[in-house]
């Protein structure tokens, strides 16, 4: 479809399937029945909180006749109907358009840079190039590892010329255990790197809806390794943050943090450093890298649905709309949308733009680990490669 509203029909180059069954084996069978294994190169599986992962992994392997399945647990799914909490979401990538190779970084914490370099170099070397096809990489990391910042930086350096996109695994809003799926098993304290070749044209996306227009604040005491901030502006962190945003410290919640983000400046851009919660002694636990002396600024939100629709309104040089968009959307964005009762509007945008993916504990793009951001890849018809 050219220069108009996007076609809201099914994508042509992937098959999107889902099940709301709460029994893992049943969910695997129901979702897999919508996929043709003979036509499929690999499947991405985004798993809802509460589904039995240890039963799900072998059930998917059996139901999909050995087709490689990769994925993670999530803080929500983006399906053909928009945001969901209890959907096992499968995205099957067709052999005609995709090839892949994978490697598992395990353990992720403590992170061995030398080991990652060796693994990535070996995986990239063994993955033979197909003439005329383009490459990209996906990374799914344990969302509680606190290692995504360093991992994203190393991958960006090692995979020079190959853009890396990804999301941190979640488990609803529990922040207790996140897991990575590869080779018929779920893994703790791990990250998956998926190298992909495609004959589809693609375009990377990354955006949030905040402007740096609030008050500045300085981290004055922190545990960098654990992403724990004890003091802001010389005062207990939670108490000072509550004062700055104008609420009682007892009222701090994921929704308050979602609407009042702290931003850091990097290469002339501002990125969110999100908070997962309040800990003992009024400490704040962050979802991305922090350090003592770091200067941040409170962000002011733009209209979130208008921004979402505008940023997803992409086209290729010929003016063609994407066949689909693979998206990694921070769970804190979803919390803000739902708190403002804008869920139906967001779901309509996702449906029209054919966005599929999951809600994350953090997003990775261009060597950075971010929060409260939408990161995605828009895939276009292959003939665009031949014309441009």
**pLDDT for the residue 383:** 66
First to last CA, the chain: 17
7 — pLDDT class (breaks 50, 70, 90): low
| pLDDT tens, position by position, 250-306 | 999 988 998 899 999 888 788 999 898 999 999 999 999 999 999 999 998 889 999
Distance, CA of 277 to CA of 268 (rounded, Å): 28
Residue 231 pLDDT exceeds 90: yes
Mean pLDDT, the chain, rounded, equals: 93
User: Which pLDDT score is estimated for 187?
Assistant: 98
pLDDT of amino acid 382: 86
Q: Rounded mean pLDDT of 208-228?
A: 92
Angle between helix 331-339 and 343-353 (nearest 10): 130
Give the pLDDT band (50/70/90) at residue 31. very high
pTM value is 0.92
| Rounded (5°) CA angle 136-9-305 | 75
* Residues sharing a CB contact under 8 Å with residue 372, sequence separation 6 or more, in sequence order: 208, 210, 258, 261, 272, 274, 330, 332, 333
Beta-strand pair 295-298/235-236: unpaired
CB atoms within 10 A of CB 257: 26
Confidence check: pLDDT of 325 > 60: yes
What confidence tens digit (pLDDT) does each residue in 353-387 have?
Answer: 999 999 999 999 989 999 999 999 999 998 644 43
Strands (E), 208-337: 210-211, 216-223, 228-232, 235-236, 262-266, 269-273, 275-278, 284-286, 295-298, 300-301, 324-330
pLDDT tens profile 52-91: 999 999 999 999 999 999 999 999 999 999 999 999 999 9
| Model confidence pLDDT, tens digit, residues 133-182 | 999 999 999 999 999 999 999 999 999 899 999 999 999 999 999 999 99
Q: Which of 3, 11, 35, 27 is nearest to 381 (CA)?
A: 11
């Amino acid at each position: 479809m050219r220069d108009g509203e996007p076609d809201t029909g099914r994508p042509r180059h992937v098959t999107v399937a889902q099940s709301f069954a709460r029994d893992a084996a049943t969910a695997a069978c129901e979702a897999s029945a919508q996929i043709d294994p003979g036509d499929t190169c690999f499947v991405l599986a985004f798993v809802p909180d509460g589904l039995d992962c240890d039963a799900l992994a072998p059930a998917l392997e059996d139901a999909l006749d050995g087709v490689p399945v990769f994925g993670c647990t999530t803080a929500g799914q983006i399906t053909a109907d928009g945001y969901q909490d209890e959907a096992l979401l499968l995205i099957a990538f067709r052999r005609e358009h995709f090839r892949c190779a994978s490697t598992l970084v395990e353990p992720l914490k403590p992170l061995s840079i030398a080991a990652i370099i060796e693994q990535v170099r070996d995986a990239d070397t063994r993955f033979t190039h197909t003439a005329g096809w383009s490459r990209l990489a996906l990374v799914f990391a344990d969302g509680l590892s606190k290692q995504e910042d360093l991992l994203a930086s190393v991958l960006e350096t090692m995979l020079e010329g190959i853009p890396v996109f990804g999301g941190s695994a979640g488990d609803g809003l529990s922040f207790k255990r996140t897991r990575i799926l590869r080779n018929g098993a779920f893994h703790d304290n791990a990250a998956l790197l998926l190298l992909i070749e495609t004959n589809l044209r693609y375009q990377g996306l990354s955006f949030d809806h905040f402007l740096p227009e609030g008050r500045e604040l300085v981290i004055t005491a922190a545990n960098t390794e654990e992403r724990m901030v004890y003091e802001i502006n010389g005062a207990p962190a939670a108490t000072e943050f509550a004062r700055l945003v104008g609420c009682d410290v007892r009222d701090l919640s994921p929704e308050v943090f979602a609407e009042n983000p702290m931003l850091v400046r990097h290469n002339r851009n501002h990125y969110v450093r999100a908070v997962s919660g309040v800990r003992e002694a009024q400490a704040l636990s962050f979802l991305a890298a922090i350090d003592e002396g770091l200067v941040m600024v409170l962000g002011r939100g733009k209209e979130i649905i208008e921004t979402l629709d505008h940023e997803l309104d992409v086209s290729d040089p010929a003016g063609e709309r994407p066949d689909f968009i693979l998206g990694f959307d921070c769970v804190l964005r979803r919390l803000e949308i739902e708190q403002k009762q804008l869920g139906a509007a967001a779901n309509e945008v996702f449906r029209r733009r054919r966005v599929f993916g999951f809600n994350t504990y953090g997003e990775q793009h261009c060597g950075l680990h971010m929060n409260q951001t939408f990161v995605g890849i828009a895939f276009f018809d292959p003939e665009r490669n031949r014309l441009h």
